[in-house]
């Protein structure tokens, strides 16, 4: 790599082998990830992937469909996501979805604060990433993708 300038470095590699190299070439790390290249950063024994947030969000939404179930019950509506400890309730369909969206945001906060190492919550990291990266509109669209008749 001797004699390469930063621009050549970004085109020639997508792996940055040390924290020092990453810090020195941070713009190249981000440019590589933004271009869609598989970009990794090594820190001691751990390897990290650097990805564009919107690309990650789109992939998570495609790979982990919400499969929300919304049912009318007891004069109102209830919304759940199978396999996740969240639910929403409301007098209308829309209120139940809004309540579920709020419950997802609360769960993502709790997961990041204290649940991430709990064995029964650890596997939910893709949903937490998705919820954290998505706007309310994006999250609502993800929840409603498979709702028949909507």
63 Cβ neighbours under 8 A, 6+ residues apart:
126
Domain residue ranges in the chain: 6-51, 56-144
Q: What percent of the chain has pLDDT over 90?
A: 75
Beta bridge partners of 16: 41
- The whole-angstrom separation of Cα 47 and Cα 107 is 27
Task: Quote the pLDDT of residue 146.
Answer: 59
Paired residues of 46 in beta bridges: 43
pLDDT digits (tens, 9 = 90+) for 126-144: 999 999 999 999 999 999 9
Radius of gyration of the chain (CA): 20
**Architecture per CATH, 56-144:** 2-Layer Sandwich (3.30)
97, exposed or middle or buried, with CB in 10 Å at 0-12, 13-18, 19+? buried
CA-CA-CA-CA dihedral for 15, 16, 22, 26, to nearest 10:
-30
The three state secondary structure string of the chain is: CCCCCHHHHHHHCCEECCHHHHHHCHHHHHHHHHCCCCEEEEECCEEEEECCHHHHHHHHHHHCCCCCEEEEECCEEEEECCCCCCEEEECCHHHHHHHHHHHHHHHHHHHHHHHCCCCCCHHHHHHHHHHHHCCHHHHHHHHHCCCCCC
Residue-wise pLDDT for 25-77, tens only, equals 999 999 999 888 889 999 999 999 999 999 999 999 999 999 999 999 889 99
């Amino acid at each position: 790599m001797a004699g390469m300038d930063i621009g050549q470095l970004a085109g020639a590699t997508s792996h940055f082998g040390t924290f020092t190299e990453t810090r020195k070439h941070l713009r190249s790390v981000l440019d590589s990830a933004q271009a869609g290249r598989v970009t990794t950063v090594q820190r001691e024994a751990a390897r990290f992937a650097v990805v564009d947030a919107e690309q990650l969000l789109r992939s998570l939404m495609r790979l982990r469909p919400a499969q929300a179930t919304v049912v009318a019950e007891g004069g109102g509506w209830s919304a759940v996501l199978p396999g996740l400890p969240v639910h929403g309730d409301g007098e209308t369909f829309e209120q139940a979805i809004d309540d579920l969206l709020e419950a997802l945001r609360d769960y993502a906060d709790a997961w990041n604060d204290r649940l991430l190492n709990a064995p029964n919550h650890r596997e939910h990291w893709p949903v937490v990433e998705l919820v954290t990266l998505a706007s309310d509109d994006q999250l609502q669209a993800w929840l409603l993708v498979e709702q028949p008749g909507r």
